[in-house]
């Protein structure tokens, strides 16, 4: 039966989100909303010292308080072999301290009580005897002779050095530099910041003593991987562990690592036979969970006088905190930083990096960085901007001169990436046109004559996402292939189960749209399940913009697999051979006789009621996708600013962002992702940092010190797009979640530096507060 | 101590400790979990509720202060006819992503358009200056609130049918 | 963190409140807007055994003029000040400052009485009231006294209020003649404390400055009244050079501390810039530019 076909709202439609129905009613189900009968509340006592021996803990007064059920210390955890746990980087991390504390905020003990207020009261009654030790708060200090040894408990660790890593060809690069007319150098520090999703981390751990089943509601971007880690660490059988990541109030990479709180809460639930809830407060989130950046970068760009790039050298110092707990593919110690040649046809490059322990919280690879691509993008785009000034070239022209050309793709970079597709000139031209670049340069000249400081900053980023091919990509040995399961019900509706988990990106809608595109079932008829390890296929989770490239691909492929069987059933219903069946969504028609048709819904019903002999019933499938390559979203951002030289304040006058993420599944959602990323980039450029004093006290452990932009400061954005599909992705999509956070900080900083060109300012490290800008102006002018 | 707090039109008599914050009273005693907690320094606005019609941060008010007060939370926006125009506008204009700041944003938006029926972009941004969003970059939140205002104007404008 | 336990009292009249304060003394804190007190209690930097909630006391929330003075009740909320037609039409310094305090949600609850008594050197209204030569009215069971704000803002987080006293009202002599005032605030974002902020007001008299007020925020142990700068302005005709001089004098009176918001040198420089700009704008408003 043919039906009047309404348009199938698949790829390219701005379908309104299905998940919104519960969120706008205040009926989201976040971890702190979970309440179970008999549930207890856990609070963690944290170290006030950055580095100190633990002499003793006396919890007797806390234990005696009414309402306190238990106090857990490192000793108790050690009895169950749980005082230490593995990190996602193959190191170990203390769950509760046994020997010494290694960063301010480190977990010391945990109180379990029947009321969260009582739990906090009890924390104050725990007496801890610390013996402070020397503190190290920079990688330079960590590397110095005689620096205090932080990881003295590791047999193979005699200093604070963790890794040395290189990429590229050092000899070829040295030769390139020897031939250069000009070498432009930049030393810049990408300050420590924090992803700070609005919902903090936490869990409700419910270990049922009768069945041995452990159900853990957890703020996790990677529930399957965490479940496996729990199984290995806790010795709990993996099939008895169920991790449910319900609604997440943002993630941005902060919710990938395993935190001690999860482990302690689970152990407590196991020991007490009751559910235990642990929700950290904001201070705990900022002071102890996965931070971002804290990355010292030295870059050198070798050029000819006509602006041709010859080579790039970078050397990097990574501040890893007290435990090496980066969430990144194991083969790469500084993530995918070696994308640092960016959008340019670079003949030679060499990257070297060293990571150090310091007395700070663990982490470093987070906050929408695409595995340190934001650091790389920042470095190259700042170098290129400065190179333009030194050569007297326009910053747009020097970029265009060196861009990889459209016809050079697939492009093999000298650091081993194969860029799938790109049209860098196209994105750049569109951005320049939208912002009226030529007009702005004229305006800048006029304003400068009036003593006003106008600047235009560009950033042409190429980033790399979608980890990744099984040959090179794994995290603690687990390959980064994600799965999708699809079942079509008899009534023609469907359920799709995916291994990635949304934190606001709209997967419940966009992934349904992928299936809609393939099979002609409308998105509202497709339920998308995610986040529950009992009910979804295995995968490494959502971060580094990998959902669309990997899970999205798995979804398209499983839909095609199901589509193959659907076609067979359609042929059976139409009583023709398979070759004579055509699919014009949602109808299967007969070649040459278009009035003979059945819908996908007819086929679905038939899959259970009228299927050919020898065929299994049902219409479903699963697929694990091994990406053949990563994907390479790109774009050009252009920012116009005005700087007040008297105060150092800067205002964004216009911000144009042209993004190319290949095929856009839901344009409305893609734009929302870009808005969000441009705002984070602005916050990073303008106001965000976490610093430490020489005693290791964390300054930036609450929202009074760690600043998030409000709607008042945040610029207005003008978006544009080009579409250059990925040739190897089943639907040509590349992923976009992090592009704007990756690419925009350099654009903002370049704009301010551009404005200050006449005053001789060459570099200002982020955050560019009014004070920092003013100091830079004073310094460039000789401190007058 | 015993207090009576009216929430979304229903009076609740509760026996609570004076130190219990209003946000906890709403979330834990009344199981209205649509009001969220995002920080510990009165900085983020995720906990915004209407307190006798005025938006306040419920993490910085004690429950006992709300004795005899009328509170509106996000759960109180839904009408018998369905979504409140503000809720509908947020969905229509993609004014939310993770949904955590959304209840606060919508309540502030509602108050704003009641006092200022045609708010400018700047007016909206000023009004939500106490509410942090990490996901949306604010563009679509502003759009949604302005759309709800326009809808409110249209609904109250007499037409030949309802003049 | 979460607050520690306390006993809660909610008087409905001023007399009831004063009785409570008299008997509880140091063990009690007054709860008005709570937007400074409650955050401190959540961090356990403050842990009073008793809270006296004065929010239900009638008659403390009026903004009115009487006998050549502006009277602002202690419970007037910042948003009330910001939206007041009277303030908007005649008191431009307060009208400029009120909408810049904290954020809109905090302004819905925060009060002028609470703000001044909290005595935060980064509080905005302290600088405004210093520039305006305001007086506060303090009531106790023993009677009532009026204290100039210069004396009331005694030390960091330490006003000169006695434990048994309640601030009921703020009084400012209404300006006469050509008048202008403004509040310039440098903050890294809405809701951040001021890096530096400056309150200025000028009353003109026959083409020269009859009276001047300059109050500074975030550059000392308390808000600072830049009296040397004020004195240098009185009797003079407005000019760029005069305002620049006043800026330098005010900067010299400030004692900023270098921190993440800026170095000592930067903050001092910003005092100078904002005094100069504030005076220029005030003079323009007074029609004497």
Q: Which of A303, A304, A317, A332 is nearest to A415 (CA)?
A: A332
Residues in chain B within 8 Å Cβ distance of A505: 97
For A460-470, b where at least 16 C-beta lie within 10 A, e where not — what string? bbbbbbbbbee
**Is residue B95 domain-shared with residue B66, that is, in the same domain?**
no
Domain C179-285, CATH 3.65.10.10 — does that match?
Answer: no
SS (H, E, C) A555-617: HHHHHHHHHHHHHHHHHHHHCCCHHHEEEECCEEEECCEEEEEEEHHHHHHHHHHCCCCCCCC
**Is residue B70 domain-shared with residue B98, that is, in the same domain?**
no
Our measurement of the distance from residue A418's CA atom to the centroid of its chain's CA atoms, rounded to an integer in Å, reads 21
Instruction: Give the pLDDT band (50/70/90) at residue A40.
Output: very high
Residue B162 lies in a domain: no
- Mean confidence (pLDDT) of chain A: 96
Task: List the single residue in C with minimal CA-CA distance to B129.
Answer: C103
pLDDT at B71 over 60: yes
- In this structure, is the dihedral angle defined by the CA atoms of residues A411, A416, A420 and A422, taken in order, positive or negative? negative
pLDDT at A784 over 60: no
Residue B47 lies in a domain: yes
The answer to whether A755 touches A453, Cβ cutoff 8 Å, is yes
Residue B161 lies in a domain: no
Residues in chain A within 8 Å Cβ distance of B37: 32
CATH code for the part of the protein at C7-53: 3.30.43.10
Q: Looking at the complex, report in whole angstroms how far the Cα of residue A776 sits from the nearest Cα belonging to chain C.
A: 11
pLDDT of residue B160: 67
Residues in chain B within 8 Å Cβ distance of A17: 91, 94
Cis peptide bond N-terminal to A767, omega within 30: yes
Q: Please name the residues between 115 and 134 in chain B that touch chain A, using a CB distance below 8 Å.
A: 121, 124-126, 128-134
What chains are in contact with C, requiring at least 3 Cβ pairs below 8 Å?
A, B
Question: What are the domain boundaries of chain C?
Answer: 7-53, 63-173, 179-285
Mean pLDDT of A512-528: 97
What architecture (CATH level 2) is domain C63-173? Answer: 2-Layer Sandwich (3.30)
Residues in chain B within 8 Å Cβ distance of A252: 134
Q: Looking at the complex, report in whole angstroms how far the Cα of residue A598 sits from the nearest Cα belonging to chain C.
A: 58
**Is residue B103 domain-shared with residue B148, that is, in the same domain?**
yes
Cis peptide bond N-terminal to A586, omega within 30: yes
Our measurement of the distance from residue A553's CA atom to the centroid of its chain's CA atoms, rounded to an integer in Å, reads 19
pLDDT at C245 over 50: yes
Mean pLDDT of A166-193: 97
Instruction: Read off the pTM.
Output: 0.97
Mean pLDDT of A216-233: 92
Q: Is A716 a catalytic residue?
A: no
Q: What's the domain range around B16? A: 2-77
What tens digit of pLDDT does each residue of A716-760 get? 999 999 999 999 999 999 999 999 999 999 999 999 999 999 999
Mean pLDDT of A30-56: 98
pLDDT of residue A781: 87
Tell me how far apart the alpha carbons of residues A68 and B113 are, in angstroms, rounded to a whole number.
47
The domain tally of chain B equals 2
Q: Is A352 a catalytic residue?
A: no
**Is residue B128 domain-shared with residue B65, that is, in the same domain?**
no
Among B40, B55, B77, the domain boundary falls at: B77
Tell me how far apart the alpha carbons of residues A218 and A239 are, in angstroms, rounded to a whole number.
17
CATH of residue B133: 1.10.150.120
CATH of residue B49: 3.10.20.30
**Is residue B93 domain-shared with residue B144, that is, in the same domain?**
yes
Instruction: Give the pLDDT band (50/70/90) at residue C288.
Output: low
**Is residue B124 domain-shared with residue B101, that is, in the same domain?**
yes
pLDDT of residue A328: 87
Out of C186, C191, C260, closest to residue A770 by CB: C186
Mean pLDDT of A206-223: 95
Helical segments of C35-162, H only: 37-42, 78-83, 85-90, 92-97, 104-109, 112-118, 124-131, 149-152
**Is residue B103 domain-shared with residue B65, that is, in the same domain?**
no
Task: List the single residue in C with minimal CA-CA distance to B108.
Answer: C105
User: Residue C218 carries which DSSP code?
Assistant: S
The answer to whether C123 touches C223, Cβ cutoff 8 Å, is yes
The answer to whether A350 touches A310, Cβ cutoff 8 Å, is no
* Residues of chain C above pLDDT 90, percent: 97
**Is residue B90 domain-shared with residue B69, that is, in the same domain?**
no
For A111-147, b where at least 16 C-beta lie within 10 A, e where not — what string? bbbebbbbbbbbbebbebebeebebbbbbebbeeeeb
Our measurement of the distance from residue A766's CA atom to the centroid of its chain's CA atoms, rounded to an integer in Å, reads 20
pLDDT of residue A385: 97
Mean pLDDT of C220-234: 98
What chains are in contact with A, requiring at least 3 Cβ pairs below 8 Å?
B, C
Residue pointed to by tokens 């009004």:
B127
Cis peptide bond N-terminal to C86, omega within 30: no
At what angle are helices A553-574 and A507-519 packed, to 10 degrees?
Answer: 40
Judged by CB atoms closer than 8 Å, whether chains meet at A771 and C189 is answered as no
pLDDT at C54 over 90: yes
3-class DSSP assignment, residue A77: helix
ipTM of the assembly? 0.97
Contacts of A318 (CB under 8 A, 6+ apart): A139, A294, A295, A296, A333, A334, A353, A354, A355, A356, A364
Beta bridge mates, A349: A312
Judged by CB atoms closer than 8 Å, whether chains meet at C191 and B130 is answered as yes
C189 has a chain B CB within 8 A of its CB: no
**Is residue B47 domain-shared with residue B103, that is, in the same domain?**
no
A704 has a chain C CB within 8 A of its CB: yes
Best mutation target among C184, C189, C261, C275 (most A Cβ atoms within 10 Å) is C189
Residues in chain B within 8 Å Cβ distance of A509: none
Judged by CB atoms closer than 8 Å, whether chains meet at B38 and A199 is answered as yes
Task: List the single residue in A with minimal CA-CA distance to B21.
Answer: A117
The answer to whether B39 touches A282, Cβ cutoff 8 Å, is yes
Tell me how far apart the alpha carbons of residues B110 and B96 are, in angstroms, rounded to a whole number.
16
The answer to whether B104 touches B15, Cβ cutoff 8 Å, is no
**Is residue B67 domain-shared with residue B21, that is, in the same domain?**
yes
Residue B111 lies in a domain: yes
**Is residue B150 domain-shared with residue B105, that is, in the same domain?**
yes
Range of weakest confidence among A263-272, A592-601, A602-611, B25-34 = A592-601
What is Dmax (Cα atoms) for chain A?
A: 91
Q: Please name the residues between 102 and 141 in chain A that touch chain C, using a CB distance below 8 Å.
A: 116-117, 120-121, 124
Residue B69 lies in a domain: yes
pLDDT of residue A687: 98
Q: Residue A269: how many CB atoms within 10 A of its CB?
A: 28
What tens digit of pLDDT does each residue of A653-704 get? 999 999 999 999 999 999 999 999 999 999 999 999 999 999 999 999 999 9
**Is residue B116 domain-shared with residue B53, that is, in the same domain?**
no
Q: Is A369 a catalytic residue?
A: yes
Contacts of A227 (CB under 8 A, 6+ apart): A238, A241, A242, A243, A533
What tens digit of pLDDT does each residue of B3-18 get? 999 999 999 999 999 9
Tell me how far apart the alpha carbons of residues A524 and A508 are, in angstroms, rounded to a whole number.
10
Out of A196, A672, A711, closest to residue B142 by CB: A711
Task: List the single residue in C with minimal CA-CA distance to A117.
Answer: C2
Residues in chain B within 8 Å Cβ distance of C102: 130
pLDDT at B163 over 70: no
What tens digit of pLDDT does each residue of A389-415 get? 999 999 999 999 999 999 999 999 999
Contacts of A532 (CB under 8 A, 6+ apart): A223, A242, A243, A244, A245
What tens digit of pLDDT does each residue of C164-222 get? 999 999 999 999 999 999 999 999 999 999 999 999 999 999 899 999 999 999 999 99
């Amino acid at each position: 039966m043919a039906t009047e076909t309404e348009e199938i709202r698949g790829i390219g439609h701005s379908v309104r989100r299905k998940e919104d129905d519960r969120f706008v009613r205040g009926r989201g189900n976040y971890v702190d909303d979970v309440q179970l009968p008999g549930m207890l509340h856990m609070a963690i006592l944290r170290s006030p010292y950055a580095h100190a021996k633990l002499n003793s803990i006396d919890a007797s007064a806390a234990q005696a308080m009414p309402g306190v059920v238990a106090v857990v210390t490192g000793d108790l955890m050690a009895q169950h072999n749980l005082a230490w746990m593995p990190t996602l980087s193959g190191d170990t991390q203390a769950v509760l301290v046994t020997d010494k504390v290694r960063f301010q905020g480190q977990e010391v003990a945990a109180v379990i009580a029947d009321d969260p207020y009582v739990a906090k009261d009890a924390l104050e009654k725990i007496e801890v005897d610390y013996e402070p030790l020397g503190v190290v708060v920079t990688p330079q200090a960590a590397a110095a002779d005689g620096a205090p040894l932080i990881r003295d408990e590791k047999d193979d660790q005699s200093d604070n050095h963790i890794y040395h890593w290189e990429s590229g060809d050092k000899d070829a690069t040295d030769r390139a530099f020897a031939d250069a007319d000009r070498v432009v150098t930049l030393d810049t520090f990408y300050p420590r910041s924090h992803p700070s999703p609005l919902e903090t981390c936490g869990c409700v751990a419910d270990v049922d003593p009768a069945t041995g089943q452990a159900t853990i509601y957890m703020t996790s971007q990677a529930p399957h991987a965490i479940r496996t880690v729990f199984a290995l660490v806790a010795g709990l059988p993996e099939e008895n562990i169920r991790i449910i990541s319900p609604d997440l109030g943002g993630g941005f990479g902060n919710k990938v690592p395993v935190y001690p709180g999860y482990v302690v809460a689970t152990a407590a639930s196991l020991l007490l036979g009751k559910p235990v809830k642990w929700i950290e407060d904001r201070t705990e989130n900022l002071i102890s969970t996965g931070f971002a950046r804290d990355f010292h970068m030295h870059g050198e760009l070798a050029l000819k006088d006509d602006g041709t790039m010859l080579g790039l050298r970078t050397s990097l110092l990574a501040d890893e905190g007290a435990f090496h707990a980066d969430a990144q593919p194991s083969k790469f110690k500084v993530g995918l930083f070696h994308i640092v040649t960016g959008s340019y046809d670079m003949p030679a490059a060499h990257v070297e990096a060293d990571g150090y322990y310091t007395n700070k919280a663990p982490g470093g690879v987070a906050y929408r960085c695409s595995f340190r691509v934001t650091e790389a993008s920042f470095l190259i785009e700042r170098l290129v901007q400065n190179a333009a000034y030194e050569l007297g070239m326009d910053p747009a022209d020097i970029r265009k001169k060196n861009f990889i050309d459209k016809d050079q793709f697939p492009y093999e970079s000298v650091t081993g990436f194969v860029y799938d597709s790109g049209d860098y000139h196209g994105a750049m031209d569109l951005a320049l046109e939208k912002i009226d670049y030529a007009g702005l340069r004229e305006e800048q000249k006029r304003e400068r004559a009036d003593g006003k400081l106008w600047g235009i900053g560009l950033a042409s980023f190429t980033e790399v996402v979608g980890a990744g091919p099984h040959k090179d990509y794994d995290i603690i040995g687990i390959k980064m292939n994600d799965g999708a399961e699809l079942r079509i019900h008899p009534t023609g509706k469907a359920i799709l189960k995916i291994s990635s988990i949304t934190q606001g990106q709209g997967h419940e809608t966009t992934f349904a749209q992928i299936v809609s595109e393939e099979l002609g079932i409308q998105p509202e008829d497709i339920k998308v399940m995610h986040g529950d390890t009992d009910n979804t296929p295995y995968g490494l989770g959502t971060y580094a913009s990998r959902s669309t490239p990997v899970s999205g691909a798995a979804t398209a492929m499983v839909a095609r697999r199901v589509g193959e069987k659907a076609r067979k059933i359609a042929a059976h219903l139409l009583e023709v051979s398979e070759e004579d069946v055509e699919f014009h969504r949602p109808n299967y028609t007969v070649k040459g006789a278009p009035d003979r048709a059945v819908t996908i819904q007819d086929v679905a019903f038939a899959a259970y009621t009228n299927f050919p002999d020898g065929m299994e019933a049902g219409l479903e499938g699963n697929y694990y996708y091994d990406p053949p390559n990563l994907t390479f979203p790109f774009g050009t951002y252009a920012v116009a600013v005005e700087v007040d030289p008297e105060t150092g304040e800067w205002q964004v006058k216009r911000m144009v962002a042209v993004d190319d993420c290949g095929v856009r599944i839901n344009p409305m959602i893609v734009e929302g992702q870009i808005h969000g990323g441009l705002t984070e980039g602005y916050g990073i450029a303008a106001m965000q940092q976490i610093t430490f004093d020489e005693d290791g006290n964390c300054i930036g452990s609450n929202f009074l010190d760690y600043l998030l932009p409000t709607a008042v400061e945040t610029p207005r954005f003008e978006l544009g797009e080009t579409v250059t599909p990925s040739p190897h992705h089943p639907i040509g999509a590349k992923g976009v979640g992090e592009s704007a956070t990756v690419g925009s900080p350099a654009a903002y900083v370049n704009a301010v530096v551009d404005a200050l060109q006449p005053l001789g300012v060459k570099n200002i490290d982020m955050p560019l507060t009014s004070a920092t800008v003013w100091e830079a102006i004073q310094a460039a002018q000789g401190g007058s | 101590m015993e207090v009576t707090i009216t929430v979304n039109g229903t009076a609740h008599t509760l026996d609570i400790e004076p130190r219990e914050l209003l946000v906890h009273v709403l979330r834990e005693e009344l199981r209205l979990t649509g009001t969220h907690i995002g920080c510990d320094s009165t900085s983020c606005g995720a906990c915004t509720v209407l307190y006798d019609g005025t938006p306040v941060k419920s993490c910085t008010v004690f429950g006992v202060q709300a004795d005899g007060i009328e509170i509106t939370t996000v759960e109180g926006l839904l009408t018998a006819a369905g979504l409140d125009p503000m809720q509908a506008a947020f969905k229509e204009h993609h004014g939310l992503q993770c949904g955590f700041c959304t209840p606060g944003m919508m309540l502030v938006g509602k108050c704003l358009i009641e006092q200022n029926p045609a708010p400018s972009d700047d007016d909206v941004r000023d009004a939500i200056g106490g509410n942090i969003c990490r996901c949306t970059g604010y563009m679509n939140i502003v759009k949604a609130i302005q759309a709800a205002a326009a809808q409110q104007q249209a609904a109250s404008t007499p037409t030949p049918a309802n003049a | 963190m979460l607050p520690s336990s306390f006993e809660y009292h909610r008087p409905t009249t001023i007399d009831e409140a004063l009785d409570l304060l008299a008997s509880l003394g140091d063990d009690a804190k007054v709860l008005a807007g709570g937007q400074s007190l409650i955050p401190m209690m959540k961090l356990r930097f403050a842990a009073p055994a008793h809270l006296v909630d004065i929010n239900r006391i009638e008659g403390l929330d009026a903004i009115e003029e009487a006998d050549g003075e502006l009277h602002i009740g202690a419970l007037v909320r910042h948003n009330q000040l910001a939206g007041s037609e009277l303030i908007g039409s005649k008191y431009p310094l307060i009208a400029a400052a009120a909408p810049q305090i904290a954020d809109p949600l905090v302004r819905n609850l925060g009060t002028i009485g609470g703000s001044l008594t909290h005595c935060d050197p980064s509080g905005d209204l302290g600088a405004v009231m210093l520039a305006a030569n305001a007086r506060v009215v303090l009531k106790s069971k023993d009677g009532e006294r009026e204290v100039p704000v210069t004396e009331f803002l005694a030390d960091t987080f330490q006003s000169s209020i006695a434990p048994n006293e309640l601030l009921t009202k703020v009084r400012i002599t209404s300006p006469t003649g050509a008048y202008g005032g403004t509040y310039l605030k440098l903050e890294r974002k809405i809701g951040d404390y001021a890096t530096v902020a400056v309150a200025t007001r000028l009353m003109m008299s026959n083409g020269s400055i009859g009276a001047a007020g300059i109050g500074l925020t975030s550059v000392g142990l308390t808000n600072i009244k830049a009296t040397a700068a004020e004195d240098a302005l009185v009797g003079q005709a407005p000019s760029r050079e005069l305002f620049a001089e006043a800026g330098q004098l005010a900067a010299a009176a400030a004692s900023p501390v270098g921190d993440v918001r800026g170095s000592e040198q930067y903050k001092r420089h910003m005092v100078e810039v904002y005094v100069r700009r504030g005076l220029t704008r005030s003079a323009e408003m007074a029609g004497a530019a």
